[in-house]
Amino acid sequence: MPVTVRFAPSPTGNIHIGNVRTALFNWLYALQHEGRFILRFDDTDTARSRQEYADQIAADLEWLGVHPHVVAYQSKRGTAHDAAVETLKQAGLLYPCYETSEELERRRKIRLSRKLPPVYGREALKLTDAEKSAFEAEGRKPHWRFLLPNFDGDPFSTRRTEVHWDDVVRGRQTVDLASMSDPVLIREDGTYLYTLPSVVDDIDLGVTHVIRGDDHVTNTGAQIALFEALGATAPAFGHHNLLTTASGEGLSKRSGALSIKALQEDGYEPMSVASLAVLIGTSAAVAAAPSLETMASTFDLASCSKSAAKFDPAELDVLNRQIVHELPFSAASERLAAAGVDTADPRAEAFWTVVRANIEKVPDAAEWWRILTVGPDDQAALEGDDLDYARAAFDLLPEGEIDASTWGAWTVAAKAQSGRKGRALFMPLRIALTGRSSGPEIADLLPLLGREGILARRP
């Protein structure tokens, strides 16, 4: 069976860099094993799920270079979920419960005070048909729990029942099914909680590896039991550490600034986002990878650390700069055009090659394009002696073609006349030409400006 992974977001908001970590781990695993990647929308929460979020998630993944082989929606698979419920009911593994949350909380406290583990005591299993009818007559609707296989014959006498799996990220894991409550699979209103649809869909879609955040580790034991109760072999699992904000809070779909959409709109490169999303919180060095394929050839899921990793947006800037400094014109031109650079101008490619070393994000180039083609915004910093010096120096611009050697020859002449050197020699000229005290090499800018462009900037 080919390796089949899935990324299963709920389309209830825009995904962020932490969600994308999960998507990329799955994608890299699929690349490493020539496997398939399913994008599955966990959209059974119809009140909060929206198609526009699903569309945005699909677009975000494409932008990052993740191309799903299959797209599935849980909301369209209700028949399969209902059939699984029937199977479990027939087998006596799904039972109705009528407790309110206050009743459950009271019992939990009693158990704790008796030094018993605060798990559900399966009281509902003792209800007679008459008692159930009485609850229903009162207007109570049942929620349904899955009977965990943690006993031999008598469900009120549980015994330690270890479930093991070889986690592809964390190594050997063990949970004890007797230490947990029978999970609720169906709510009072008849809707499904995440567990049952997820397991049913993983079975039907042929998922071989479930790779997800480590907030799901404790669910895995019960899910393995559910796979088995439904006559399936559980897939392999991998649980990676989560990302938090710099101050240690969990990332949330509500923290819009870190959404993939916002990062894209801010002009970040997909590979800087992907490189950081994957490599942060691992033993691998955080560096910009040229492509997901390259990353797949070296990245090992097992290099994840066990604790949460702090996401620092400043690191994203560092990676982005590394990528932009090497980015070929062909890869940037569409976005340069969108940002206002005339990419049909014969100088555009040379301009990009000069300017990319001085910017953080591709759209930043537009400002330099404006400085080059329209003129500096501000020469005001030039005053006094510097202004006099710059004016005089403009008369010394060498004759002939403006090329890579012009700046050297120009400053030699300006130095000889003014006696200035170093910063005092070149800074007034830089400011006159660009309105800035830093930026691309002036030697490289001069051929782009041409004689006319240079002389037009005479202060």
Query: Could you tell me the end-to-end alpha-carbon distance of the chain, in angstroms, rounded to an integer?
Result: 73
In the complex, what is the shortest distance from the CB of residue 225 to ligand GLU, in angstroms, rounded to a whole number?
15
Q: CB 10 → ligand GLU: shortest distance, Å?
A: 5
Q: At its nearest, how many Å lie between ligand GLU and the CB of residue 9?
A: 5
Choice between 57 and 348, CB closer to ligand GLU: 57
Paired residues of 146 in beta bridges: 94
Distance CA(244)–CA(134), nearest Å, equals 48
**Which of residues 173 and 353 has its CB atom nearest to ligand GLU in the complex?**
173
Q: Which residues contact 59 (CB under 8 A, 6 or more apart)?
A: none
For ligand GLU, give the closer residue by CB, 243 or 393.
243
Nearer to ligand GLU, 194 or 426 (CB): 194
Q: In what order do the strands lie in the sheet with 236-240?
A: 70-73, 36-41, 4-7, 209-213, 236-240
Contacts (Cβ under 8 Å, ≥6 apart) of 44: 74, 75, 191, 192, 194, 197
According to CB under 6 A, which residues from 167 to 196 bind ligand GLU? 194
CB of 74 to ligand GLU, least distance (A): 9
Q: Is 253 in the site for ligand GLU (CB under 6 A)?
A: no
State the binding string over 195-234 for ligand GLU (x if CB under 6 A, else -). ---x-----------x-x---x------------------
Alpha helices in 91-139, H assignment, sequence order: 101-113, 129-138
DSSP letters along 66-92, please? ---SEEEEGGG-HHHHHHHHHHHHHTT
Rounded Cα–Cα distance for residues 329 and 312 (Å):
29
Size of the site for ligand GLU (CB under 6 A): 9
For residue 405, the Cα-to-chain-centroid distance in whole angstroms is: 46
CB of 209 vs ligand GLU, minimal distance in Å:
11
CB 198 → ligand GLU: shortest distance, Å? 5
Q: Binding string, 257-296, against ligand GLU, x = CB under 6 A?
A: ----------------------------------------
Site string for ligand GLU, 17-56 (x = CB under 6 A): -------------------------x--------------
Q: How far is the CB of 248 from ligand GLU (least distance, A)?
A: 20
Give the Cα separation of 373 and 190 in Å (integer).
65
Do residues 253 and 12 make contact, with C-beta atoms less than 8 angstroms apart? yes
Contact call for residue 10 and ligand GLU (CB under 6 A)? yes
Which residues would be at the binding site for ligand GLU (CB under 6 A)? 8-10, 42, 194, 198, 210, 212, 216
